[in-house]
Amino acid sequence: MRIALFVTCFNDTLYPGTGKAVVTLLERLGHEVVFPTAQTCCGQMHYNTGYDRECGPLVRDFVKTFQSFDAIVVPSASCAGMIRENHPRVARTIGDEALVKKAGSTGSRVYELTELLIDVLGVEDVGAYFPHRVTYHPTCHSLRALGVGDRPLRLLRAVRGIDLVELPDAAECCGFGGTFALKNPDVSTAMGADKVARVRQTGAEVVCAADNSCLAHIGGLLSRLRTGVRTLHLAEILAATD
Amino acid sequence: MSTDQRAAGAARMPTYVGMPAFPEAARDAVRDTRLRRNLTHATTTIRAKRAAAVSELADWAELRETAKRIKDHTIEHLGHYLRLLEEQVTARGGIVHWARDAAEANRVVADLIKATGETDVVKVKSMATQEIGLNEALAAEGIRAHETDLAELIVQLGHDRPSHILVPAIHRGRAEIRDIFRREMPGAPDDLTDEPARLAEAAREHLRERFLKAKVAVSGVNFAVAETGSLVVVESEGNGRMCLTLPETLISVMGIEKVVPSWQDLEVFLQLLPRSSTAERMNPYTSVWSGATEGQTFHLVLVDNGRTATRDDEVGRQALRCIRCSACLNVCPVYQRAGGHAYGSPYPGPIGAILSPQLRGAGSPVDDSLPYASTLCGACYEVCPVAIDIPEVLVHLRSRAVHGRAEKAAMRFAAWTLRSPTRLAFGQRLAGTAGRMLGRRGGIRRLPGPLTRWTDTRDAPVPATETFREWWEKRS
């Protein structure tokens, strides 16, 4: 299958390893990955912070870049959610009815990585090997906006060598929240500190999730505390082999 | 914001004028160990109980959808149902008053009490009277209002503010309550301990005397059934029923969105509310009265106080569906850490973050900051029994907010950069170089400017030496 990769501006700049892992993984499974170089950003930060008008051109560009593809994979649950849920809303706000339709149609072909693997490609065992103690944090957008359910866990359970441990109070938000982390740093850090305490309780060497933005927050705290616990995007575990 | 707007805001929720913005107020709360413990214990307990109570009903999703439809329909035809309610209450001997805002409502209630010649009134727990600052307004006229709900009594005796919709004293532990009772409650026993049974007994003794003496009571209203002019109050203690039935004059204050068309509609909410708020299948006391009861004078005060303006907003109006159950507070990770006082309103938590700025019309530091007092995690929407999409309204209110000049410039510049792959690539190279200068192997320990708010507590990731798009170009 020919799959377009929307890597997201955040991963492109700060976590290119996640994008590479998606390419490695999908090619290993026998699929063709294309990266339309005109892509930039889904507009999530602007939209969530109250700058929906500034989002208009970003939505238009996204649709133009990706509308011809049958499957678009996004290694970020919150960006996938932004595209599917909010791109049509933005188009409506700027009064572009044609764009509302196109954004809806393009959005219906957008998949978060674990949705693509399980629902479209029909695989659970992706042939990965990762001999570490790992815990999984279901980010709010994967859990409540996209409703990915146990897909990530099904994929992780099939990884050889993995010691997967359950994260207590997993469904609770880590406190990142985009610009919330800067606008409300005290509450954000208090929430993150509790999340980090839970992670450490599991004895995991690695905490993984479907969103590097949440992981940047959790990882930033883990690193400041010199815990030695590493954050890793789910894709990088699924791409790993011996 | 103009002086007029500020005055209008003050007229709507007078006791909360001058509250600091949410982030400042929350800063103290997250450092308060006792508050953290009380809140974490209380909210996690009720959260689990609610989930169990809700899971008992196979048709919960359907009930929720029906409740949403009923509320939306009623709010759409609000004028019609309010006139019907007035007609029915009047036909059954009640007297209906209309109040545009808090100041008008307080005036009406004060005048009604004065006309009875009384200076003391008993109160049933009521959010509407908290919202309009009735107790303070009455005090200014020489009238003492005595709260009779146990938690409201604790708040009142402690010269405190409520911090939760259902459990206004949720921020207080048992020992604190014992100290407040000993200090402030006339006739509290000297050997009072912090055992819940002893505390309840002391409050019962104290309140019983008030009920027997009271000639006038003030209540709120949970639901008003338009077709028969019936008012409904649900509660757990029975103290509300004492107030509703014993005094000679009953004055009920209700927000105009509390009306429901029929008894059939009411049935839906009487299933949703107790399970969502106290995790009970049915609330212990449900009092219903239609118009005036024999031997009692009944006044109904209908309060707008920003509701019509809220109704005019197509996205924001869903906040008017709220039945004040508190489920959203109990699941909110932000509320759990910041506590209720930081929200600067009797309506704290997620619902407060969308309701207060709409009712008060924004413009104050706290109201401007409330739409941002959320990570948009969506836990509130998931549990809301009337399906208010709180994250959607929060983002909507953010889009109408007045943004700071520096932030606006930064966001515009970011949008401009992100609109072109070439500019983005240039920006990435720049950020990469700067980041690698600032950062050591593990991460960046200190970022400049407003970004210190990130690095004060967290390391920041160092941009990679090669972006994904650079890697891709080399590869192909």
What is the distance between the alpha carbons of residues B231 and B224, in angstroms, rounded to a whole number? Answer: 5
A132-158 pLDDT tens trace: 999 999 999 999 999 999 999 999 999
Residue from A8, A26, A186, A223 whose CB has the most chain B CBs within 10 Å, to mutate: A186
List the strands of the sheet with B230-235, edge to edge. B259-260, B223-225, B230-235, B285-290
Same domain assignment for residues A140 and A229: yes
**Interface membership of B426 toward A (CB under 8 Å):** no
CA distances from B93 to A49, B137, B215, B295, B300 (A): 52, 28, 19, 11, 11
B415 with A173: Cβ contact below 8 A: no
Say what the pLDDT of residue B18 is. Answer: 73
Read off the amino acid at residue A38.
Answer: A
Judge whether residue B3 has pLDDT over 60.
no
Same domain assignment for residues A116 and A7: yes
Could you tell me which residues are beta bridge partners of residue A206? A134, A230
What is the distance between the alpha carbons of residues B61 and A85, in angstroms, rounded to a whole number? Answer: 21
Tell me what percent of the residues of chain B surpass a pLDDT of 90.
Answer: 86
A203-226 pLDDT tens trace: 999 999 999 999 999 999 999 999
Same domain assignment for residues A37 and A141: no
**Interface membership of B442 toward A (CB under 8 Å):** yes
B62-97 pLDDT tens trace: 999 999 999 999 999 999 999 999 999 999 999 999
Same domain assignment for residues A190 and A219: yes
Same domain assignment for residues A70 and A149: no
Say what the pLDDT of residue B5 is. Answer: 53
Q: Which of the four pLDDT bands, split at 50, 70 and 90, describes residue A53?
A: confident
Judge whether residue A235 has pLDDT over 80.
yes
Per the structure, how many domains does chain A have?
Answer: 2
Could you tell me which of B396, B409, B414, B387 has the C-alpha nearest to residue B358? B396
B342-392 pLDDT tens trace: 999 999 999 999 999 999 986 788 999 999 999 999 999 999 999 999 999
Judge whether residue B1 has pLDDT over 80.
no
Give the ipTM of the model, two decimals please.
0.96
Say what the pLDDT of residue B11 is. Answer: 61
- Nearest by CB to A14, which of B374, B403, B464? B464
B403 with A51: Cβ contact below 8 A: yes
Computed over every residue of chain B, the mean pLDDT equals 93
What is the distance between the alpha carbons of residues A42 and A213, in angstroms, rounded to a whole number? Answer: 14
**Interface membership of B440 toward A (CB under 8 Å):** no
Same domain assignment for residues A17 and A71: yes
Which chain A residues have a beta carbon less than 8 Å from that of B473?
Answer: 37
Tell me what percent of the residues of chain A surpass a pLDDT of 70.
Answer: 100
Say what the pLDDT of residue B443 is. Answer: 86
Say what the pLDDT of residue B476 is. Answer: 80
Same domain assignment for residues A112 and A47: yes
Same domain assignment for residues A235 and A152: yes
Same domain assignment for residues A101 and A206: no
A-B CB pairs within 8 A amount to: 184
As to burial, measured by CB atoms within 10 angstroms (0-12 exposed, 13-18 middle, 19+ buried), residue B90 is: middle
Give the distance from CA A26 to its chain's centroid: 16
Vertex A132 angle, CA A126 and A138, to 5°: 70
- The C-alpha of B395 sits at a distance from chain A's nearest C-alpha, in angstroms, of 6
Mean pLDDT value across residues A1-22 = 97
Query: How is chain B split into domains, by residue range?
Result: 417-475
Strand boundaries in B53-191, DSSP class E: 95-99, 120-123, 144-147
Say what the pLDDT of residue B376 is. Answer: 97
- For B263, the 3-state DSSP assignment is helix
Say what the pLDDT of residue B2 is. Answer: 47
Query: DSSP characters for B312-339?
Result: TSTTGGGGGG-----HHHHH-HHHHHH-
Same domain assignment for residues A114 and A141: no
Same domain assignment for residues A168 and A233: yes
CB A8 within 8 A of CB A42: yes
Same domain assignment for residues A163 and A83: no
Residue A179 domain-assigned (yes or no): yes
Judge whether residue B329 has pLDDT over 80.
yes
Say what the pLDDT of residue B187 is. Answer: 87
Record the tokens describing residue B120, joined without a space: 């003391």
Chain A residue nearest residue B403, CA to CA: A50
Residue A127 domain-assigned (yes or no): no
Mean pLDDT value across residues B167-182 = 94
Could you tell me which of B119, B152, B124, B153 has the C-alpha nearest to residue B138? B119
Say what the pLDDT of residue B125 is. Answer: 93
**Interface membership of B456 toward A (CB under 8 Å):** yes
Judge whether residue A192 has pLDDT over 80.
yes
Chain B residue nearest residue A86, CA to CA: B392
For B289-327, b where at least 16 C-beta lie within 10 A, e where not — what string? bbbbeeebbbbbbbbbbbbebbbebebbbbbbbbbbbbb
A92-134 pLDDT tens trace: 999 999 999 999 999 999 999 999 999 999 999 999 999 999 9
List the strands of the sheet with B249-255, edge to edge. B95-99, B297-303, B249-255, B216-219, B120-123, B144-147
Say what the pLDDT of residue A161 is. Answer: 98
Give the distance from CA A7 to its chain's centroid: 9
B225-280 pLDDT tens trace: 999 999 999 999 999 999 999 999 999 999 999 999 999 999 999 999 999 999 99
Could you tell me which of A220, A141, A53 has the C-alpha nearest to residue B456? A220
B412-462 pLDDT tens trace: 999 999 999 999 999 999 888 888 888 766 789 999 888 999 999 999 999
Judge whether residue B17 has pLDDT over 80.
no
| Domain of residue A184, residue span | 133-239
Chain A residue nearest residue B455, CA to CA: A220
Residue A88 domain-assigned (yes or no): yes
- The C-alpha of A203 sits at a distance from chain B's nearest C-alpha, in angstroms, of 21
Q: What is the 3-state secondary structure (H, E, C) of A176-188?
A: CCCCHHHHCHHHH
B411 with A46: Cβ contact below 8 A: yes
**Interface membership of B428 toward A (CB under 8 Å):** yes
Q: What's the N-to-C CA distance of chain A in angstroms?
A: 25
More confident residue, B48 or B364: B48
Mean pLDDT value across residues B105-126 = 97
The single residue listed with the structure tokens 């009072």 is B192
Tell me what percent of the residues of chain B surpass a pLDDT of 70.
Answer: 96
Which chain B residues have a beta carbon less than 8 Å from that of A20?
Answer: 468, 471
Judge whether residue B9 has pLDDT over 60.
no
Q: What's the N-to-C CA distance of chain B in angstroms?
A: 56
